[in-house]
Chains A and B, each alone.
Chain A
Amino acid sequence: MNAIEIRDLRKSFGSKQAVRGLDMTVPEGAIYGFIGENGSGKSTTEKLLCGLMIPDGGTVRLFGRACTDAEARSKIGVLIEAPGCFPNLSLWNNMMIHAADLGIENAGREVARVLKTVRMEGAASNKFKNCSLGMKQRIGIAMALLGAPRLLVLDEPINGLDADGMRIMREVLTDITKSCKCTVLISSHILTELEKIATHYGIIRGGEMICEMTAEELDASCRAYTALKAADMNRTKLLLSSRYSRVEEAEDGYIRIYDLTTAEDIAGYLYENGVTIQEIGQSKINLEEYYIDLMNERRVQ
């Protein structure tokens, strides 16, 4: 069964169409990376999914039921924009309020468990307003985790997290999807982090889903390239450009050759032309590069 099934979803704000006939399918147990530029409609889609906004048209189904169904919605954990805490209350009290709203029995034990999961057990007595941005994000995730949800909707949860916070987040998400078969819909701009955990991807642009794929499909779509560093980079680039059709100088300072060729072939060619190679290797473009390529292609179209 699919955890989320969205068909022809539409939402406008005045004359601006934020979501235009969006289709989305998230299988149960997936970690779905929802990617798009600022203002592309990610947050609006998530809010529509959680029933916080009224769609102009289309259908949203959660675990096979309409998204307005109380049973379907009772098992969603959400972190959209702010965690929903009162600034003057302690983290513990805020969590207890949310646990009470969820109708959790043994709320104290459950709150302690999720605080431990996000490594915030030592800060439970801190007032929310005194927490750093990273701590607030972690508390937001902890609140979303309360009551063992079947679906987690996280909007930019990695923003503001330090390296340790990001690692914890990765571990938590991977763990809950494996142990509890929880489905995670996660939107983020930090694609390098997303790439480490996502099993499925959806790329949205201008309120439309432009592609959905699994991590394996993405891997297959990512172009392979040969990267190298040489003593004379300018001459090397000129030489390579004369022989190969797509040669680029990447931001990391390496020259990349995207043509289907082997490193040995390139090394042999450069050796014949008297170029000393310092480093050479083969790799694939990552999610971020794939995404930028895709966006650029769409812009050209």
Chain B
Amino acid sequence: MNRYRTMLRTDMRRLFTSRMFYIMLGIALAMPIAILVMTSSLAGTEMKNQQTGEVTVMENFNSAWEIIGTEGGFKLTGGETEKPESSDHAAAMAMNMDMRSMCNINLIFFMLAVFVCCFVGDDFRSGYAKNLFTLRAKKGDYVLSKTLVGFFAGAAMLIMFFIGAVIGGGISGLSFDLGNAGADGLVMCMLAKIFLMGVFAAIYVLAGVFAKKKTWLSILLSLGAGMLLFMMIPMMTPLDSNMMNVFMCLAGGVLFALGIGQGSRLILKKTDLV
């Protein structure tokens, strides 16, 4: 336990002294501002596809919170899954592949992939992992420490994105109307997303320990896995989330992180470490 705490402290120290972390936070803050300001200034602009002749009109966000999440998704009430009723909800939910549904807070889950892979890759490239494992550091401790750091970094990025959304909404003059979601829905949505980070952080750590020094490979694997699971995020964490969404994401985050963590530990145990 002592050793694990040391490892976690070291990783946290590295996180806070890493330039990349602050760059990521900066991007997470700037991204919603840029998206909201751009979409507001381009709203109503018609874009014609030269090949098909199809005209697309750029639509603006109806509310600044749309960049955080849309209402709908799988709203969980007392263990039952309530599917979205209206066609509007369904459209807003997942299949709508327009800019608004793609350029939102869920991009942070991809940014985290790059961060975690670089963080783990650095361990192997610098020789730090070699030093640790020579001293018989527990592989499980290593994986857990990296997952927690990834989770923490992801949560910090999500919060920065949220702050960016508030600033961006203010600059672009968008409404902050929460509709049916309410303030509690927004808070639950953010909490659910933060807890869901645990699953993604664990997956990215798995890719990192698999690829070891080959950061490019771990980033590719992570982005691939992220894409497969990307549609799960708006479904699990809609803007009108409730306690059940939060609980499901928390339980899922913990269980998946532990399960995937076991996979990472096995990889470290069964493969060469350098």
Contacts and interface: CB of A to CB of B under 8 A. Distances in A.
A89 B271 contact: no
A89 B137 CA distance: 22
B214 interface: no
Contact of B274 (A47, A76, A100): A47
A85 interface: yes
B259 interface: no
Contacts of B130: 50, 52, 78, 80-82, 84
Contact of A84 (B3, B17, B126, B136): B126
Nearest to B274: A52
A88 interface: yes
A86 B194 CA distance: 28
B127 A50 contact: no
Contacts of A73: 134-136
Interface string A103-123: 100000000000000000000
A92 to B, nearest CB: 13
Contact of A101 (B13, B125, B137): B137
Nearest to B137: A101
A143 B270 CA distance: 27
A28 B5 CA distance: 34
Contact of A143 (B9, B17, B19, B131): B131
A70 interface: yes
A97 interface: yes
A101 B10 contact: yes
A140 to B, nearest CB: 8
Contact of B2 (A74, A80, A81, A103): A103
A89 B274 CA distance: 22
Contact of B7 (A52, A74, A82, A101): A101
A57 interface: no
Contact of A86 (B7, B122, B133, B136): B122
B167 interface: no
B273 interface: yes
A73 B7 CA distance: 18
Contacts of A143: 131
Interface in B186-214: none
B128 interface: yes
B62 interface: no
Nearest to A89: B17
Interface residues of A, number: 29
A74 B136 contact: yes
Interface string B65-84: 00000000000000000000
A230 to B, nearest CB: 54
A66 to B, nearest CB: 12
A239 interface: no
A73 B14 CA distance: 26
A85 B135 contact: no
A51 B134 contact: yes
A4 to B, nearest CB: 14
A118 to B, nearest CB: 17
Contacts of B274: 47, 52-53, 80-81
Nearest to B131: A84
A54 interface: yes
A86 B18 CA distance: 10
A70 B2 CA distance: 15
B85 interface: no
Contact of A83 (B9, B125, B127): B127
A294 interface: no
Interface in B1-43: 2-3, 6-7, 9-10, 13-14, 17-19
Nearest to A13: B272
A47 B271 CA distance: 13
Contacts of B18: 88
Contacts of B131: 78, 84, 98, 101, 143
| Residue from the set B3, B18, B126 with the largest chain A CB neighbour count within 10 Å | B126
Contacts of B134: 50-52, 73, 76, 78
A64 interface: no
B269 to A, nearest CB: 9
A214 B17 CA distance: 48
A101 B137 CA distance: 8
A89 B3 CA distance: 21
B99 interface: no
A190 interface: no
B23 to A, nearest CB: 13
Nearest first, the 4 A-B pairs at minimum CB distance are A84-B127, A82-B127, A84-B131, A53-B272
Given A78-B130, A85-B126, A101-B137, 8 more contacts: A76-B135, A82-B125, A84-B128, A86-B126, A97-B13, A97-B128, A103-B6, A143-B131
21 contacts: A47-B274, A51-B133, A52-B130, A52-B133, A52-B272, A52-B273, A73-B134, A73-B136, A76-B134, A80-B127, A81-B130, A82-B130, A86-B122, A86-B128, A93-B17, A97-B10, A97-B13, A100-B10, A101-B7, A101-B137, A143-B131
Interface of B: 2-3, 6-7, 9-10, 13-14, 17-19, 122, 125-137, 270-274
